[in-house]
Amino acid sequence: MFISSAFAQTAPAAAAAGGDIQSSLMGMLPLVLMFVVLYFVMIRPQMKKAKEHRAMVDALAKGDEVATAGGLLGKVTKLNEGFINIEIASGVDVQLQRSAVVQVLPKGTIK
């Protein structure tokens, strides 16, 4: 009752000044946690899959049987730096980008 009103009003503000930093860090914690979860659930597996696809495309060799993104199945007949030629039927060659190859099939799959 004998505390002056000016002193009583400044006391909570002085105590809150140290708490502002802590409250702002606690406010950012959910954002940081969401980013970490997003990284491990979405970004990291996608990067791993892209790395595996790049290695598969780089390892293509003449005579490999492949499936393309468009659904074509064929045998690799010619390799260039960015393109490949695949034979989809007897005497029918198609030129595609290397990145269009989705899967290398086991030998003897295409007859």
Question: Across residues 79-98, what is the average pLDDT?
Answer: 95
* The amino acid at 102: V
Q: What is the pLDDT of residue 12?
A: 55
Overall size of the chain counted in residues: 111
Output the pTM of the full model: 0.68
Parallel/antiparallel/unpaired status of strands 83-89 and 65-68: unpaired
| CA 50 to each of CA 15, 84, 109: distance values in angstroms, whole numbers, following the listed order | 52, 19, 25
Give residues with Cβ within 8 angstroms of 80, minimum separation 6: none
Higher pLDDT, 11 or 4: 4
> In percent, how much of the chain has pLDDT > 90?
70
Question: Across residues 74-90, what is the average pLDDT?
Answer: 95
Cα(87)–Cα(28) distance, rounded to whole angstroms?
Answer: 56
Q: What is the pLDDT of residue 25?
A: 82
Among the CATH numbers 2.70.150.10, 2.30.30.60, 1.20.1090.10, 3.90.180.10, which is that of 61-105?
Answer: 2.30.30.60
Cα(80)–Cα(97) distance, rounded to whole angstroms?
Answer: 9
